[in-house]
Each structure stands twice: as C-alpha cells, then as structure tokens.
Structure 1
Amino acid sequence: MIDRRTLIGSAAAIGMVTPLRSAAPAFTSRRPAVADRRFTSKAVEREITRVTAMVADPELAWMFGNCYPNTLDTTVFMGTVDGKPDAFVITGDIDAMWLRDSSAQLQPYLPLAASDPALRTMFRGVIARQARSLLIDPYANAFMRDPGAGTNLSWAKQDQTEMKPGVAERKWELDSLCYPIRIAHGYWQATHDPTPFDALWADAARVTIRTMREQQRKGDRGPYRFLRASNIPSETLMLDGYGPPSRAVGLIHSGFRPSDDACLMPFLIPSNLFAVTALRQLAVLSHETRRDSALANDAIALADEVAAALRRHGTIRDTDGQEIWAYEVDGIGNAHFMDDANVPSLSALAYLGCVQPDDPLWRRTAARAWSTRNPYFFSGKVADGIGSPHTWLRQIWPMAIVMHALNARDDATIAQCLRWLKASHGGTGFMHESFDQDDGALFTRKWFAWANGMFGELILDIAARRPALLKANA
C-alpha cells in the first residue's frame, strides 16, 4: 500500500516535482485566468493592489501576488446545504479537506471579511462545513466533499479504524479540533456576525469538548484506535493502535502530529497549549454569540485543567539547566525535545496566541528550536530553517521560515528570511511543502495552499508593522 508520504516522495523521484530554474524576468502572474478562479473577492483584489505597490522588489511582489490569493483562486468550492452557504476547501494537490489546513488557508482573509459580503458568505460556509464534519467524526483529520462517500485517498482505504462515510482520513490530531474554533473566533472578532453560531455549531462544540475529555484517558484508553499497514513507522500507532503508554495527568492525548506523523510520546505540548487557547476562545464564542453559559463554563473548566497540567508536566530543563517547553511528554516523567515546521509547533506558540510574544520561557524554547538543538533544523546554501520527519532530512519548510520572520524582533532577521524565501520557490513563484537546503529547485508539493497563505500573511504583517522593509530591495 502507498501512503501520502510515499506518494509525495515518489512524485519527486519520477519528476512530477520537476526542478525549475526560471529567471522569469517579466514575473508574469501565475494565477489562473479570471474565469477559472474558484472564488473571487473584491476586497482581496484591492489588497493585492495595495500591498504590491508597497513592495520595491519585483520578485517579492510577484510572489505575493501569486501566493496570497492562491487558496481562493484554486481550493474553495462553494455550494449550499439546507439553503445555507457551504464551503469545501481542499489542500491543493490532495482532493480532501483537512480541518487544520482549511482553517489555516483562510486565516489571511479574516481582516477583510467585515468589508466584503462574499468573504463573509465563504466564512459562514466553512464554519458550517467544519461543524458538520466534526459531527460525522471528531477523530478524523480530513473529509470528503460528498459526506456520503468513502475515502478517495489510496493510502487510507485499508486503515484499521472506524472509517465512516464522509471521512477521508482518520488520524486523531488534537489540533484538528482547535483550528475550527480559531477560525470561528477570528471571524467573530472581525465581523461580530452571529449567523454561523447556530445549533449545528453548538452541537459540534459540545462534541469537541467531549472528545478532548475522552482523550485525557482518565479511566480507560478511550474509543479511538488506528492501525495502518506501512513500512513507515510513523504512519501507524503502536500498542494495537492506541499509541504509546502514558499516565493520566490531565493533558490530552494526540495520536498524530499536525504533520500527520505519529507522536513519539502521546502528549504533544504545542497542541495542548493550542487546546487551552482554543477552549478559551470557544468560551467567548459560546457566551457572546449564544449566551450559552453551560457550554462556556465547560470549555473554561477543561482549559483550566489542561493549563494546570501543562505547568506541571509540559516543561523540561535543557542541558544548560534552563526551563523550556518540551515537544512531547508521556506524563510518566519522560520528555522529547524537537520542533516540526507544521503548526502548531513550539515556534508558533505566539502566532497562535498561546503565549505572549515577549514571554521568556517561549523565547528560550523558540531559540533552541531554531538551532542544532533541534534535530530537524537544517542549514544549507539556500537557507536555514526547520524541516519535519514527514519529509527527508535536509528539507526545509518555507512555513518555518515564515514563522521565524513573524517571531523576529529586528529588521535584519526579517530581511534575511525574505531572501531565503525568494531563493526557495524554484522559479515557480509559489511556496512549497519543503525544499532542499542546498537547492530551492528541488521541492515537494508544487501546489500547497497553506504555505502560500502563510507567505501572504507574512507580507501583510510586514506591510503593517515594518513597511520600510518592503520599500527596500530585499
């Protein structure tokens, strides 16, 4: 059986991911023709014009113009369900909707939703689609466009788990429950539109809390089990599909990381921190949009419990004796330190609102993640950056460079990150999943909308906070 990682790797090997070395002096737009775009927003088009005019470097401006609208251009499929908007958002080259990716892909457009009715319709549609998906199976990470269809993912067809119609893949990833809350909270903050927060949404919110509590595994192993026939160990869960051993300490288990790789230890600290933040956001939404104090109080109670467990079990002492966040722990006393480019990560905790940007514990942790202390930090001729066990060694993920720039407090670091990102696109004008540390033309996933969206977010952030950097030639 072939799995997603093998599929991507094989594509590179046989030339589907072709090394490109285009000078592209005219920097012609790589967007689809207007008639072929999946979704169009006047506000997004105006933003492209506004920000592009601020960018002195023509290559950087070209990349922004390609990347920022990529999710809308290519991945959004609008429809209706019961007379209400429905939005199905694929990842790009995989025709399925990940709860994580779809939320992250749409994040850059939230600031424009208040001024654009079309965007509001789209966000209402994706919030509803995610709620319906969670009600199909809160343990699934990816879903089918047709809620009655079996999976179209070749690597998931023989998985030993409770596959339901509408589920594309059933890897239990704690962050998959957090991202729908984040995008819903962001939409409410941007628009104060209560429309999406109906009984369907509330039912999905209650299922979210119930599932998180199940995966605290206080009394038993819970209902989730997953086995996959694969020669890659991180594609399946050990111990008959329940995952590595742990002690119930109040943290929430995650079978898999946001990279879709199995956890080495079952308490993934970035995801647990994200869960605390998401649960507090859920409480705000429940109170402000529905006046549902029972749901809000339930969310707060779980958030407080997990936060207390994180304080007791989520940190370690590094080799110099300083306290840092662990990447994974087991509640028994064992811990693992690394960082992965996929978000949530230790590097992304401030970006997700889990910590303050000047928090010293997080700053120490992020500094070690961006160093050889992290076994997945690579430094080459093209760039420095963090990769992932999901791809080969020496493969840097552009989204990690974006995150490093968003975390930076000085112009020099941000400017360097922009130079690395320019060197990484292999002549395509788009971001990719990963690229070789010594050759940006060797990359995985030609069409990966999440990475494109994060690049767009970075340029927007620089335009808002440090516009002088864009006016200089990077």
Structure 2
Amino acid sequence: RAAADAAATQPLGGYGYPVRPCGLIASAFRPSGEATRLPFLVPSNFFAVASLRQAALMLNDIHHDGAAYQDLMALADEVAVALRTHATVAHPVHGRVYAYEVDGYGGRALLDEATVPSLLALPYLGAIPLNDPMYQHTRRLVLSADNPFFYEGKDVEGIGSPRTGSGMIWPTSLLTRGLTSTDEAEIRACVQALKAAHAGTGYLPEAFQQDDPRQPARAGSAAASALLGEFLWKLYQERPALLG
C-alpha cells in the first residue's frame, strides 16, 4: 500500500525485506500497526506456538480429532524449535536474550514495543514460564535504556512504540509489566502510574507523555482499558492490599 510514513508500509513493492525460511512465521506488521523491520516477529511466533497447542488440545478433547491434533502440535513444535535456534542473541550486558525480530539470515532487532504480543508479555500469554532465565534476561533488557522504546519520565517509566513517537508511554506496557511481576514494589508502581494515566476519565489512553500523564494520545483506548480490568481483577484476587 502507498503511504507517506515508511513505517505504515513495506519496502520492495510491499513484500518487505527478504527472509530465509527457518520454521518461523513471517509478519508484515507489528501488533501496533507499524511495519516490521525484520519479518519474523518473535513475540507473535511465541504466541502462535501457545495458541496452536491450545487449539490442538481443544480439538482432541472436545472433537476427538486426533489428526488435527497431530498437525497442530507438529507445527507448534516446528516454530518452537526455530525460536530456540534463530531468535536468541548474546547481549553484552543482559546475557542471552530473545530478539524482537529476526530474518533467518542472522539479522536481529533488539527492542520491545508495548502492544501485546510483546516480549514483556510472553508469560501472560502462556508462551513461556515467568521464571525462565532467558525471559528474565530479556525482561531486564526491555525495561532498560537498552530498549530504544523504553522511556523514563519524572515519575513514570514504561515502553512505547514508534506509532506514537518518542517519549510516549503506553499504559499497555504498565499493565503487562504488572501482570508478569511478582515484586510488590514493582506492581504498586504500575498501579500508581495507571492511576495517573487515566487523568480522571476512568479510561486509559493509548499513550501518554512521559513527563505528564495528563497529555494523552488517542484518549479512551478500549484495548488498554479492557486489559486494566483483567489486571485489577487479578490484583483483587491475589494482592488486594496493593489496590489501596
């Protein structure tokens, strides 16, 4: 498609940059709507593995379709092996981590965006255990200045997206951070940031300015507000004291 913004379309006649087939699934666009830089989007491939396995179990247990079960599990296993083989990289500070995008040729993009599926959200998606060492290394990377879309404001820090420009934090990243944390101080900080982010409206925006949550981008995000409900319900059940 023709677009004035390079991030809204793909090069090479819309096909995007080449990939080497390696068992991963290619994507033209990220969950945020931005074009992928490298077509194998790692969080989405992890999500595909988890979803394929869930679908396989449902087909087997509910419809008793053993053939479909085998096909879906085989595809999930193929993608999982490819992720272990092609989607990891040794970072000089954080150790072995997952890349955000790869191309099968050895190219890797080290970053994370706020929108789910994201690297930060992998345990929330059921794609990887929370205590997985490589996930924890990746988590430290994406929640640091080594992630080009991690922003630290005067009182709030979080992940954004090129979709909304520099310095704009997405509440979705605060929610996935809280949903994938066992540290009460970290969760409490997410709660306080979310309280500021809705700016008295009761609804979360798509993004807000890192130094002033009262300056939103696209106020009233249904996706973020829905995820907020899940986060609050989880806290109510597991850590109600953090809601005070």
| Corresponding residue to 2:184 among 411, 436, 439 | 411
Report the Cα distance in structure 2 between the residues aligned to 1:313 and 1:357, rounded to whole angstroms. 21
Q: Does 1:234 align with 2:7?
A: yes
Residue 126 of structure 2: aligned partner:
353
Q: Does 1:282 align with 2:47?
A: no
| AA in 2 matched with 1:246 | V
Cα 1:231/1:321, change in 2 over 3 Å:
same
Paired-residue identity, %: 45
Is the Cα contact below 8 Å between 1:382 and 1:424 reproduced in 2? Answer: no
| Corresponding residue to 1:261 among 34, 51, 64 | 34
Cα 1:417/1:461, change in 2 over 3 Å:
same
Q: In the TM superposition, what are the counterparts of 1:292-311 in structure 2 within 5 Å?
A: 292-311=65-84
Report the Cα distance in structure 1 between the residues aligned to 2:198 and 2:219, rounded to whole angstroms. 9
Report the Cα distance in structure 1 between the residues aligned to 2:219 and 2:239, rounded to whole angstroms. 30
RMSD (CA atoms): 1.1
Q: In the TM superposition, what are the counterparts of 1:92-241 in structure 2 within 5 Å?
A: 228-241=1-14
Which consecutive aligned stretches of 4+ in structure 1 deviate over 6 angstroms post-superposition? none
1:375-404 Cα offsets, whole Å, 9 max, x none, are: 000011241000001111100000101111
Report the Cα distance in structure 2 between the residues aligned to 1:439 and 1:329, rounded to whole angstroms. 34
Instruction: Give the Å deviation of 1:468.
Output: 2.0
Q: Which has the higher contact order (CA 8 A, sep 6+)?
A: 1
Instruction: Give the Å deviation of 1:410.
Output: 1.7
Q: Does 1:338 align with 2:111?
A: yes
Residue 164 of structure 2: aligned partner:
391
Report the Cα distance in structure 1 between the residues aligned to 2:198 and 2:98, rounded to whole angstroms. 32
Residue 201 of structure 2: aligned partner:
428
Q: In the TM superposition, what are the counterparts of 1:20-99 in structure 2 within 5 Å?
A: none
| AA in 2 matched with 1:255 | A
| AA in 1 matched with 2:44 | S
| Corresponding residue to 1:464 among 229, 237, 244 | 237
Report the Cα distance in structure 2 between the residues aligned to 1:329 and 1:423, rounded to whole angstroms. 36
> Which one has the bigger helix percentage?
1
Report the Cα distance in structure 2 between the residues aligned to 1:428 and 1:443, rounded to whole angstroms. 11
Residue 252 of structure 1: aligned partner:
25
Instruction: Give the Å deviation of 1:447.
Output: 2.5
Residue 223 of structure 2: aligned partner:
450
Report the Cα distance in structure 2 between the residues aligned to 1:376 and 1:468, rounded to whole angstroms. 31
Report the Cα distance in structure 1 between the residues aligned to 2:141 and 2:18, rounded to whole angstroms. 27
Q: Does 1:375 align with 2:148?
A: yes
Is the Cα contact below 8 Å between 1:382 and 1:440 reproduced in 2? Answer: no
The size of the alignment, in residue pairs, is 244
| AA in 2 matched with 1:441 | R
